[in-house]
Amino acid sequence: MMSWAWAFGGAAGAAIGLLSLAAVPARAQSLEELRDMSISSLSKLDVTSVTRSSASLADAPASIYVITHDDIVRSGTLTLPGILRLAPNLQVMRGGPNDTVVAARGLSGNDQAQNFSNKLLVLIDGRSVYSPLYSGAYWDMPDILPEDVDRIEVISGPGATLWGSNAVNGVINIITRDAGASQGLYGTGVVGNRTYDLGLRQGGHAGGNASYRLFVKRHENFESASGLDDGNRRTQGGFRLDWNATPADALMVQGDGYFGSRSQGDAADENFHGYDLLARWRRSAPSGATLQLQAYYDHTARRIEDDGGRFALDTFDLEGQHGFSLGQAHSIMWGGGARVSRYVVADIPGLDFVPGRRTLFVGNLFAQDSIALSPTLTGTIGAKLEQRSYVGLTFLPSVRLSWKPAPATLIWGAVSRAVRSPTPFDEDVVETIGRTVILTALSSFRSEKLTAFELGTRLTISPRASLSVSTFYNVYDDLRSVEPAPGGFLPLRWGNGIEGDSYGLDAWADIRVADWWRLKPGYSLLIQKFRFKPDAVPLLGLSQVGNDPKHRATLRSSMDIGPQVNVDFDLRYVSALPDPHVPAYVELGARLGWQFDERAELSVSGFNLLHRRHQELPAAQATPLGRSLLVALKCTI
């Protein structure tokens, strides 16, 4: 993303742009007993994003890929977008250190039309990092210490029934490790031709049933080949406390704070900061019933130096959920929550929010019942009722059916409804050039809607190979468009003038070639067919919906050479972006790790190794990506 001002539609220059467009090793090699699981162990891995309760990955009726702790550490990458590249069902496109687009199943947006990737919900330990101001994520703000992540569950497909509006094309759920799994003093230092990174963490016990960790991280990324300063800097610190008060009660409290800045070439730097605090209490009954309460507070702010505009956002969230069994056939999860977000936006040249401050509210109730129709057939019916600012009561249902004809075979299908709800950028924004109003939002803007049909299978072919294939057919309505004023041209306005459908598949496999060598291939196909409604005006063309590749393919290889050395390769192919055109490319990442001591590891990582530079986003939006090399030292005391 070019800047936070671009995320709000940009200043006068953006408006002018609108006018001008009519394998498992014998011994896991890492400092923390990495979990390079066998195929059978991975199939039994617990995931929570599909049902909001713990369930086996082999039984999850959804297109879900799990990035494990071992995958993350062995990748050598330092940033969250870099880690998300490991998921074959995600589309991650970058352009320099400050421009990132992450999407699932298309609709990645188009900056020239002031449309952004806003149909993918992102959570960190249950805290949403999806901005209610414009329905997207600022990828330079959420950050993690990679070694503290337990797993990342990536769902491609709608998750609105459980997670609410804006979980349209997918859900990313980042789950950090229990504090008890990160004990002792840990330090890491990374130096490279484009990156510096330092991390320090202390973990310990606070009584017999409580564990804690404290961490601090400093990250710098820069790009100077363009002749302009285009880097970012960030410092973050935080903590986590886990307390098992009784065998049935668990309490987790965590928080962090950060500050940083990003350069914008000849323009003034953009500064940002934030802090958050989250608490979760969970009780488990002998019957298997669970009760969970969670609350968090989150503050984020960005400001352009030299009075170039600012915003601040405070979010208060409270939710609860209750899971229990009813008889032998029903497993029910229900709950609800409320979220209040208060924001102020001011002093952005050429861009006003009217009003400039507002309080947004979201309230919801949800319920889902998994019904054992037979020993091999399970049906899941769920719905969420959601009340939000700008729109009335929204109904978000889903129906899923899963069949296990054999213990190693799952076949599933689903029909779901999801929406992207209006935001202040859709309803309150006014763009100007001088005293001329170029664009004005409409209070009549409607939610963007999706009805999704999915069919998939997950197979354990043998003890050495597994396969997951998910197909989809998505029907979209009321997608946002740019329309001229009735009977004239200016001011432009947002409309709901685009509809259409998309279809394709996500597929990946896990193959243990030998005890020391593992391969993970992946492939995604996306075909999109959009059209203007009869009463819409094709002012900007259909490319305003998104600029997405048709084909994506990945191949990850993980090898252990003896008891101390591990080697990883990541090869990826992305076909051309259609409009604006960006050529197809093939790129390679690699990492060589040497555990020269039981508590210390030295590694060398390289990214984008096949080309000196390559373009992933349109040249008008982002700079090319250059080759990157890193040397990292990690140690635990």
Burial 195-207 (b: 16+ CB within 10 A, else e): bbbebbbbbeeee
CATH number for the domain including 379? 2.40.170.20
Q: Is residue 18's pLDDT more than 50? A: no
Instruction: Note the pLDDT tens digit of each residue in 235-261.
Output: 999 999 999 988 899 999 999 999 998
- 352-402 pLDDT tens trace: 889 999 999 999 999 999 999 999 999 999 999 999 999 989 999 999 999
d(CA 555, CA 576): 19
How distant is the alpha carbon of residue 195 from its chain centre? Answer: 22
More confident residue, 234 or 207: 234
Whether 588 has a pLDDT exceeding 80, the answer reads: yes
Report the range of poorest mean pLDDT among 15-19, 309-313, 589-593, 595-599: 15-19
The closest of 28, 27, 29, 31 to 633, measured between CA atoms, is 31
DSSP code of residue 57: G
C-alpha 515/C-alpha 28 separation (Å) is 11
Q: pLDDT confidence of 128, banded at 50, 70, 90?
A: very high
Euclidean distance between CA atoms 123 and 172, whole angstroms: 6
Q: What are phi and psi of 434, to 5 degrees?
A: 65, -125
Average pLDDT taken over every residue of the chain = 89
Alpha carbon distance 103, 118 (integer Å): 8
pLDDT at 13 over 90: no
Question: Which is more confidently placed, 554 or 262?
Answer: 554
Distance CA 168, CA 545 (A): 14
| Lowest mean pLDDT across 6-20, 331-345, 558-572, 589-603 | 6-20
**Between the CA of residue 611 and those of 13, 231, 586, what are the distances in Å?**
32, 21, 9
Secondary structure (3-state) at 85: coil
DSSP-derived secondary structure letter, 82: H
Q: For position 21, what pLDDT does the model report?
A: 40
Q: Is residue 491 reached through a cis peptide bond, with omega within 30 degrees of 0 on the bond before it? A: yes
Q: Residue 262: its pLDDT value, please?
A: 85
* pLDDT score of 539: 86
The total domain count for the chain is 1
For residue 2, what pLDDT is reported? 39
pLDDT at 1: 40
Task: Report d(CA 177, CA 179) in Å as an integer.
Answer: 6
pLDDT at 31: 38
Angstrom CA distances, 171 to 161, 166, 407, 612, stand at 12, 9, 27, 33
pLDDT of residue 339: 97
pLDDT in the model for residue 115: 86
Q: Note the pLDDT of residue 347.
A: 83
pLDDT at residue number 541: 87
Q: Which two tokens stand for residue 192?
A: 């490279």
Confidence of residue 4 (pLDDT cuts 50, 70, 90): very low
The pLDDT assigned to 442 comes to: 76
Query: Which residue type occupies 64?
Result: I
pLDDT tens figures, 186-213: 999 999 998 999 999 999 998 779 999 9
Longest alpha-carbon distance in the chain: 75
- The DSSP code sequence of 371-392 is EESSSSEEEEEEEEEEEETTEE
Cβ-Cβ contacts under 8 Å for 181 (sequence gap 6 or more): 32, 150
Return the percentage of the chain with pLDDT > 90, whole number: 68
Q: Which domain holds residue 142?
A: 4-636
Which has the higher per-residue pLDDT, 635 or 32? 635
Tell me how far apart the alpha carbons of residues 269 and 229 are, in angstroms, rounded to a whole number. 10
pLDDT: is 107 or 15 the higher one?
107
- In this predicted structure, the answer to whether residue 288 has a pLDDT above a threshold of 70 is yes
**Statement: residue 7 has pLDDT above 60:** no
Specify the pLDDT at position 509. 97
Least confident stretch, 25-39, 236-250, 550-564: 25-39
